[in-house]
Amino acid sequence: MTIHREGFPTIALVTLVLVAGNALSYYFLYATCTGCFVALLAVSLLFWGFILSFFRVPARIHTIAENSVIAPADGEIVVIEEVQADEYFSDRRIQVSIFMSPFNVHVNRNPVSGTVRYSQYHPGQYLVAWHPKSSTENERHTVVYEKNGREILVKQIAGALARRIVNYLQPGQSVRQTEEMGFIKFGSRVDLLLPLDAVIKVKIGDRPLGGVTEIATW
């Protein structure tokens, strides 16, 4: 397991704040309330461990499959339904949504190999990630991939806690399946819009692993 580069500034800031806070608590509390100091120290260490865990990149054997759409994120499948596309496409698509809690791995990966045809950031609100309107009203970044003349859309969506979406892709760029496409900080959601003839391989409640689990074939 490694730590993602997006985490280094946050980890450094949190470390400085916690060290300073523990130094002050030691100065003011250790002599008069040792138990209070120990409790605060334990809480700060747990929080520091959580921050490290959030930015983890676990070692995995990724799934490379020519006709498969691989999960772009860890999390839980919360939506599988036919929808009217509201960006880039004008037809109906199958939407598969993955909810990412703060405890999931938050690296986002390319679901297919191909060419990036569209990459657009949208500012917006911070509704909870499972809210139906989060796909259209929250801060988000949309990417469309083309492979063999067919296209799929991936939408990174900020949640109530997420305050920064990172996306590394540019239109015209050639990408490989399961390589990094971005990162979302502190709880979020990723939507996939697939062609209607895609064969869905997951169900509501499943917990896919980014870069590993097959979401659909097309």
Residue 62 lies in a domain: no
75 with 179, same domain: the answer is yes
Residue 171 lies in a domain: yes
pLDDT value at position 184?
A: 87
pLDDT at 130 exceeding the cut of 70: no
The closest alpha carbon to 61, from 48, 50, 49, 70, belongs to 70
Q: How confident is the model at residue 179 (pLDDT cuts 50, 70, 90)?
A: very high
93 with 34, same domain: the answer is no
Among 44-58, 120-134, 143-157, 181-195, which is the least confidently predicted range? Answer: 120-134
The range of the structural domain enclosing residue 114 comes to: 68-213
Residue % of the chain over a pLDDT of 70? 91
Q: What does the pLDDT look like over 9-38, one tens digit per residue?
A: 999 999 999 999 999 999 998 889 999 999
Residue 46 lies in a domain: yes
Residue 63 lies in a domain: no
83 with 135, same domain: the answer is yes
- Pairwise CA distance, residues 129 & 123, whole Å: 15
Q: What is the CATH number of the domain that holds 203?
A: 2.70.70
pLDDT value at position 146?
A: 97
What is the pLDDT of the chain when averaged over all its residues? 91
Is the dihedral angle over the CA atoms 127, 123, 211, 14 positive or is it negative?
negative
pLDDT value at position 114?
A: 97
Q: Record the tokens describing residue 53, joined without a space.
A: 């865990």
Q: What does the pLDDT look like over 111-129, one tens digit per residue?
A: 999 999 999 999 876 666 5
pLDDT value at position 139?
A: 86
Is 135 catalytic? The answer is no
Q: What does the pLDDT look like over 78-94, one tens digit per residue?
A: 999 999 999 999 999 99
Amino acid at 135: S
Residue 113 lies in a domain: yes
Say how many domains are in the chain.
Answer: 2
Residue 81 lies in a domain: yes
Q: Which of 113, 134, 135, 188 is catalytic?
A: 188
Q: How confident is the model at residue 52 (pLDDT cuts 50, 70, 90)?
A: very high
- Pairwise CA distance, residues 130 & 33, whole Å: 43
Residue 218 lies in a domain: no
- Pairwise CA distance, residues 209 & 60, whole Å: 9
pLDDT at 143 exceeding the cut of 90: yes
Secondary structure (DSSP) of the chain? -EE-GGGHHHHHHHHHHHHHHHHHHHHHHTTT-HHHHHHHHHHHHHHHHHHHHHTEE--------TTEEEPSS-SEEEEEEEEE--SS--SEEEEEEEEE-TTS--EEE-SS-EEEEEEEEE--B---TTSTTHHHHB-EEEEEEEETTEEEEEEEEE-SS---EEE---TT-EE-TTSEEEEE-SSEEEEEEE-TT-EE---TT----TTTSEEEE-
49 with 106, same domain: the answer is no
pLDDT value at position 132?
A: 58
Q: Record the tokens describing residue 76, joined without a space.
A: 């839980």
165 with 188, same domain: the answer is yes
40 with 143, same domain: the answer is no
